[in-house]
């Protein structure tokens, strides 16, 4: 038995199920990160002193990471646009680049983390580092999750292209929405933690 | 019972049976993606956890009625770390208390009300073949299952036992509590994930998969209730997830989100970095947990509305006002949370804001309750078991709601805060309120799930016994609470002089609880016995108007024999000039 409106659009809502689903999921993600940002404000405003981000963290590396992640959002759009034009091989290349950018982000993040641990800057050291590790850690898990989904569509999930190109294109679009959200969270995280 | 609804449901011309490959036992009944199987899995899991959570309470009630009295055989079973010689340790009492709350709310009522009824009934009522995302639906159930297992496992872990910091897990106490709290947090993260996945599925299903002609204002009230509930779950749970992650960090990675500087525990200064804010946890917790209160009650209201319309043979009185109230209530529930925190020294301006919003949110609840009561006016009421439970819901929820008003006002909350009065108030809402509504729903939709009706005599014994016992349990708590007895004491107040004049009421409550347990036996027997021996009924035994009754009982995979269509509103009962006293939504 098939569920209606997985591929075709429902006329009166103008949407597929997956489109609504992913936006609802992102709404809940906004509440998740929103609560953490709110906690950041509460803890920071209640603290007698608060370190400037650039004295504790590596701003150049994070700037590189920001560029990497924004580039990956561009390649993600290109991947989806390639599918819209029916160019599967171009999709493979752009999607591959997106995954590689995600990987580069995590590798750079790993170097940042290990430098902190090496200096003895741990989550337990102070509340600045606590919120830093919690926010970036949770964000890192989201990057990893997005990469896993993208890798699935690059690899085994791509079979669907032959059977049902519209459905596959929609699914890549939804993965893209999630990926842009993860990117957007970083764009808030970077100035909040590193620059302010 | 004649079955007029079946005429439209089984078109004589070429019945189109959805073809599907036969699935094996595991895929069909265990790892199923069929919303009806998942709904039943949720419901049975929820009922089992309700029973388990209730058993914890029956155990606690022993120590409250007879503090320090030993039950040697129970001591032998539970061991010296919990009940040495059969006398309950206060630490064990705290475990029971924390886990009773957690289990009843997150593993009992929500899985039954939202996961069970939502999954089983909602797609049928909107004429959908299944949920929009069947695999996510299955994943959602199994997340709940893992969360439940984690919570249960925390009782038997070698060191420490289950969480002891109450279902609210207030910091800093929860930050420094034993290892059971970590299990609690991990379990909660599973349960939150389960709820989020379920919520986005319900919303998408409702918007996308409703039958042709089923506009939003033709939704049965139950669908509206589930729809609003899903939004509450979707948007209120993530902040608790964030808070849970932070508390987990505090406990595992040694951070100090909720630990203030200079905290001294048992005469020892803590060595953590400090600088945290214990109230932050309370804010994040209640940001979820106040909407959660409405998650507990709204599905119940939806069930009661269905049953009242059906058994008064009348349309609901003020359907539109009820829907608008429901949506308004859902919105308001996000800005009342700090009325749980009047005692935290939040300042009069904040308190004034939150008590105002709290008074405002009582208006839509009263509108809905009033509309339900008005619906009874002039109806030819059928007093079957579901209707009896639904009728009892009205005054019981009314008592719970009205006794909440003094708690919503800052001035009167201060003396009542954390007393048994609070327990009595919210249990009237949730126990004889929501749980009665859920029982009503079980008796009402049982024929749809099994093709058989539950036994009426056993049902009426269950109803009458439960109604009396519920009141014997909870009414005395108002008296005990007004006398000022704290809800957190393992001895029920026996160690305080001022509590002596009301202590005998604890004995009443306890015997009420144990008798209430006995009166669930007819239900448990009836539930299983009726699967095989219940009276066989047709597709529409209650002569109802909503779309779920056009499907065969039990509905096959894919639910309907043809694509159902909605031609009119949900409650066209006793339409003047119509040939019979109900005019189903799905009949041309």
Cross-chain residue pair B208–A5, CB shorter than 8 Å: yes
Q: What digits encode the pLDDT tens for the residues B132-146?
A: 999 999 999 999 999
Q: What digits encode the pLDDT tens for the residues B516-562?
A: 999 999 999 999 999 999 999 999 999 999 999 999 999 998 999 99
Percent of chain A's residues with pLDDT above 90: 98
How many CB atoms are closer than 10 A to CB A45?
Answer: 9
Identify the pLDDT of residue B11.
39
- Contact status of A37 with chain B (Cβ, < 8 Å): no
- Contact status of A32 with chain B (Cβ, < 8 Å): yes
Please give the DSSP secondary-structure letter assigned to residue A74: H
- Contact status of B280 with chain A (Cβ, < 8 Å): yes
Q: Are B514 and B500 in contact (CB under 8 A)?
A: no
Sign of CA dihedral B445, B450, B456, B460: negative
Separation between Cα atoms, residue B314 and residue B328, nearest integer Å: 25
Sign of CA dihedral B534, B539, B543, B545: positive
**Angle between helix A165-189 and helix A127-154 axes, rounded to 10 deg:** 160
Which residues of chain B make contact with A46, given a CB cutoff of 8 A? Answer: 275, 277
Separation between Cα atoms, residue B226 and residue B333, nearest integer Å: 15
Identify the pLDDT of residue B478.
97
Q: What digits encode the pLDDT tens for the residues A137-182?
A: 999 999 999 999 999 999 999 999 999 999 999 999 999 999 999 9
Q: Are B322 and B581 in contact (CB under 8 A)?
A: no
How many CB atoms are closer than 10 A to CB B352?
Answer: 11
Nearest to B549 by CA among B54, B19, B13, B10: B10
Nearest to A109 by CA among A58, A169, A48, A56: A58
Q: What digits encode the pLDDT tens for the residues B425-467?
A: 999 999 999 999 999 999 999 999 999 999 999 999 999 999 9
Q: Is residue B348 part of a domain?
A: yes
- Shortest distance, CA B316 to any CA of chain A (angstroms): 28
Cross-chain residue pair A46–B277, CB shorter than 8 Å: yes
Nearest to B124 by CA among B352, B349, B306, B386: B306
Which residues of chain A make contact with B232, given a CB cutoff of 8 A? Answer: none
CA B505 to chain centre: 27
Strand, helix or coil at B180?
helix
Q: What digits encode the pLDDT tens for the residues B176-230?
A: 998 999 999 999 999 999 999 999 999 999 999 999 999 999 999 999 999 999 9
Start-to-end Cα distance in chain B: 22
CA B549 to chain centre: 25
Beta bridge partners of B268: B265
Q: Count Cβ atoms within 10 A of the Cβ of residue B115 and give its class: 0-12 exposed, 13-18 middle, 19 or more buried.
A: buried
Kindly state the tokens that stand for B284: 């994040």
Q: Is residue B3 part of a domain?
A: no
Identify the pLDDT of residue B8.
41
Q: What digits encode the pLDDT tens for the residues A106-117?
A: 999 999 999 999
Separation between Cα atoms, residue B523 and residue B462, nearest integer Å: 6
CA B334 to chain centre: 18
pLDDT above 90 (res B130): yes
Which residue in A10, A20, A43 is closest to B277 by CB distance?
Answer: A43
User: What residue has token string 């989201």?
Assistant: A142
Q: Which residue of A has its CA nearest to B256?
A: A127
Separation between Cα atoms, residue B467 and residue B432, nearest integer Å: 7
Cross-chain residue pair A43–B200, CB shorter than 8 Å: no
Identify the pLDDT of residue B367.
97
**Angle between helix B456-482 and helix B420-429 axes, rounded to 10 deg:** 150
Q: What is the mean pLDDT of residues B224-249?
A: 97
- Contact status of B277 with chain A (Cβ, < 8 Å): yes
- Shortest distance, CA A47 to any CA of chain B (angstroms): 6
Tell me whether strands B535-536 and B452-453 are parallel, antiparallel or unpaired.
antiparallel
Radius of gyration of chain B (CA): 24
Q: Is residue B266 part of a domain?
A: no
Which residues of chain A make contact with B286, given a CB cutoff of 8 A? Answer: none
Q: Is residue B254 part of a domain?
A: yes
Q: Which B residues, 206 through 265, put their C-beta within 8 Å of a C-beta on chain A?
A: 207-209, 234-239, 241-243, 245-246, 249, 253-257
Looking at chain A, the number of H-run helices and the number of E-run strands are: 7, 0
Cross-chain residue pair A20–B209, CB shorter than 8 Å: no
Which residues of chain A make contact with B284, given a CB cutoff of 8 A? Answer: 35, 39
List phi, psi (to 5°) of A5: 65, 25
Please give the DSSP secondary-structure letter assigned to residue B212: B
Tell me whether strands B268-269 and B264-265 are parallel, antiparallel or unpaired.
antiparallel
Please give the DSSP secondary-structure letter assigned to residue B498: G
Q: Among the residues of B418-494, which ranges form H helices?
A: 420-429, 436-450, 456-482
Q: What digits encode the pLDDT tens for the residues B384-423?
A: 999 999 999 999 999 999 999 999 999 999 999 999 999 9
Q: What digits encode the pLDDT tens for the residues B12-41?
A: 343 444 445 577 888 888 899 999 999 999
Which residues of chain A make contact with B196, given a CB cutoff of 8 A? Answer: 25, 28
Q: DSSP string of B326-393?
A: HHHHHHHGGG-GGGG-GGG---HHHHHHHHHHHHHHHHHHHHHHHHHHHHHTT------HHHHHHHHH
Q: What is the CATH number of the domain that holds B505?
A: 1.20.210.10
Beta bridge partners of B453: B535
Q: What digits encode the pLDDT tens for the residues A64-94?
A: 999 999 999 999 999 999 999 999 999 999 9
- Contact status of A9 with chain B (Cβ, < 8 Å): no
pLDDT above 80 (res B3): no
Separation between Cα atoms, residue B277 and residue B257, nearest integer Å: 6
Which residue in B242, B246, B253 is closest to A124 by CB distance?
Answer: B253
Kindly state the tokens that stand for B337: 């949370």
User: What residue has token string 């009874």?
Assistant: B376
Cis, peptide link before residue B554, omega less than 30° from 0: yes
Q: What digits encode the pLDDT tens for the residues B54-77?
A: 999 999 999 999 999 999 999 999
Identify the pLDDT of residue B7.
39
Q: Is residue B230 part of a domain?
A: yes
Which residues of chain A make contact with B199, given a CB cutoff of 8 A? Answer: 24, 28
Identify the pLDDT of residue B18.
45
Separation between Cα atoms, residue A131 and residue B255, nearest integer Å: 9
Q: What digits encode the pLDDT tens for the residues B328-366?
A: 999 999 999 999 999 998 889 999 999 999 999 999 999
Confidence of residue A1 (pLDDT cuts 50, 70, 90): low
Identify the pLDDT of residue B20.
52
Q: Given phi > 0 = left and psi -120 to 50 = alpha, else beta, which region is B127?
A: left
Identify the pLDDT of residue B21.
59
Sign of CA dihedral A40, A45, A50, A52: positive
Separation between Cα atoms, residue A125 and residue A139, nearest integer Å: 21
Domain count, chain B: 1
Q: Can you give the residue range of the structural domain that contains B152?
A: 29-260+272-550
Q: Is residue B558 part of a domain?
A: no
Kindly state the tokens that stand for B428: 């009237």
ipTM of the complex: 0.96
* Residue of B238, B261, B344 to mutate, testing the A interface (most A Cβ within 10 Å of its Cβ): B238
Cross-chain residue pair B236–A31, CB shorter than 8 Å: yes
Please give the DSSP secondary-structure letter assigned to residue B453: E
List phi, psi (to 5°) of B407: -80, -25
List phi, psi (to 5°) of B567: -110, -15
Percent of chain B's residues with pLDDT above 70: 96
- Shortest distance, CA B318 to any CA of chain A (angstroms): 27
Which residues of chain A make contact with B236, given a CB cutoff of 8 A? Answer: 31
How much is the mean pLDDT over chain B? Answer: 93
Q: Which residue of B has its CA nearest to A4?
A: B209
Identify the pLDDT of residue B388.
98
Give every CB contact of residue A79 below 8 A, 6+ residues apart in sequence.
A91, A94, A95, A98, A172, A176
- Contact status of A1 with chain B (Cβ, < 8 Å): yes
Distances (CA, A) of B260 to A19, B172, B173: 44, 8, 12
Give every CB contact of residue B389 below 8 A, 6+ residues apart in sequence.
B307, B436, B437, B439, B440, B443, B463
Full set of structural domains in chain A with CATH:
17-195 (1.20.120.80)
Q: Which A residues, 120 through 179, put their C-beta within 8 Å of a C-beta on chain B?
A: 122-127, 130-131, 133-134, 138
């Amino acid at each position: 038995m098939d569920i209606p409106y997985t591929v075709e659009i429902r006329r009166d809502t103008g949407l597929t199920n997956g489109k609504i689903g992913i936006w609802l999921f992102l709404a809940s993600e906004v509440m998740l990160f929103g609560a953490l940002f709110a906690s950041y404000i509460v803890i920071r405003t209640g603290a007698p002193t608060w370190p400037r981000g650039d004295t504790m963290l590596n701003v150049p590396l994070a700037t590189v990471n920001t560029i990497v992640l924004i580039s990956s959002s561009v390649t993600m759009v290109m991947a989806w646009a390639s599918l819209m034009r029916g160019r599967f091989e171009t999709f493979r290349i752009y999607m591959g680049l997106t995954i590689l950018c995600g990987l580069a982000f995590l590798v750079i993040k790993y170097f940042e983390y290990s430098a902190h641990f090496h200096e003895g800057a741990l989550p337990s050291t102070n509340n600045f580092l606590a919120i830093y590790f919690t926010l970036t850690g949770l964000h890192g898990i989201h990057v990893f999750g997005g990469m896993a989904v993208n890798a699935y569509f690059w690899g085994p999930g791509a079979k669907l292209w032959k059977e049902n190109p519209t459905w596959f294109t929609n699914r890549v679009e939804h993965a893209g929405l999630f990926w842009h959200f993860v990117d957007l969270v970083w764009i808030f995280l970077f100035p909040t933690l590193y620059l302010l | 019972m004649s079955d007029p609804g079946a005429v439209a449901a089984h078109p004589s011309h070429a019945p189109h049976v959805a073809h599907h490959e036969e699935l094996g036992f595991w895929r069909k009944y265990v790892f199923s993606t069929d919303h009806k199987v998942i709904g039943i899995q949720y419901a049975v899991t929820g009922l089992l956890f309700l029973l388990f959570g209730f058993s914890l309470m029956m155990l606690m009630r022993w120590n409250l009625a007879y503090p320090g009295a030993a039950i040697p055989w129970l001591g032998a079973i539970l061991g010296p770390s919990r009940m040495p010689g059969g006398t309950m340790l206060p630490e064990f009492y705290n475990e029971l208390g924390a886990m009773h709350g957690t289990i009843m709310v997150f593993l009992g009522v929500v899985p039954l009300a939202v996961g069970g009824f939502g999954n089983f009934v909602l797609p049928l009522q909107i004429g959908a073949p299944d949920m929009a995302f069947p695999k996510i639906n299955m994943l959602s159930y199994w997340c709940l299952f893992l969360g439940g297992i984690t919570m249960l496992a925390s009782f038997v872990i070698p060191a420490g036992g289950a969480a002891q910091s109450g279902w609210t897990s207030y910091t800093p106490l929860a930050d420094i509590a034993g290892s059971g709290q970590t299990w609690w947090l991990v379990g909660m993260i599973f349960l939150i994930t389960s709820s989020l996945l379920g919520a986005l599925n319900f919303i998408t299903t409702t918007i996308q998969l409703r039958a042709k002609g089923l506009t939003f204002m033709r939704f049965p009230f139950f669908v509206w209730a589930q729809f609003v509930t899903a939004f509450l779950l979707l948007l209120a749970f993530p902040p608790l997830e964030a808070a849970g992650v932070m508390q987990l960090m505090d406990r595992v990675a040694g951070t100090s989100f909720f630990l203030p500087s200079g905290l001294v525990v048992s005469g020892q200064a803590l060595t953590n970095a400090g600088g945290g804010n214990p109230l932050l946890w309370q804010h994040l917790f209640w940001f979820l947990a106040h909407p959660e209160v409405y998650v507990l009650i709204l599905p119940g209201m939806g069930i009661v509305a269905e049953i009242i319309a059906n058994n008064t043979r009348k349309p609901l009185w003020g359907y539109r006002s009820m829907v608008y109230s429901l949506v308004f209530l859902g919105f308001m529930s996000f800005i009342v949370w700090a009325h749980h925190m009047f005692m935290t020294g939040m300042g009069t301006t904040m308190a004034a804001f939150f008590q105002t919003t709290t008074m405002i949110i009582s208006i839509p609840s009263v509108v809905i309750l009033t509309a339900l009561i008005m619906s009874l006016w002039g109806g030819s009421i059928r007093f079957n078991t579901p209707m009896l439970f639904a009728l009892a819901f009205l005054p019981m929820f009314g008592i719970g709601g009205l006794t909440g008003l003094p708690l919503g006002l800052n001035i009167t909350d201060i003396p009542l805060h954390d007393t048994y009065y609070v327990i009595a108030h919210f249990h009237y809402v949730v126990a004889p309120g929501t749980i009665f509504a859920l029982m009503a729903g079980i008796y009402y939709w049982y024929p749809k799930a099994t093709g058989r009706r539950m036994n009426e005599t056993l049902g009426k014994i269950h109803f009458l016994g439960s109604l009396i016992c519920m009141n014997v349990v909870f009414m005395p708590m108002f008296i005990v609470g007004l006398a000022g007895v704290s809800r957190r004491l393992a001895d029920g107040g026996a160690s305080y002089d001022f509590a002596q004049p009301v202590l005998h009421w604890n004995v009443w409550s306890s015997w009420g609880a144990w008798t209430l347990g006995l009166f669930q036996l007819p239900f448990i027997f009836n539930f299983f016995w009726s699967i095989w021996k219940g009276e066989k009924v047709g597709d529409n035994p209650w002569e109802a108007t909503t779309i779920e009754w056009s499907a065969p009982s039990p509905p096959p995979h894919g639910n309907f024999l043809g694509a159902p269509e909605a031609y009119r509103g949900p409650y066209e009962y006793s339409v003047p000039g119509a040939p019979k006293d109900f005019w189903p939504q799905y009949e041309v």
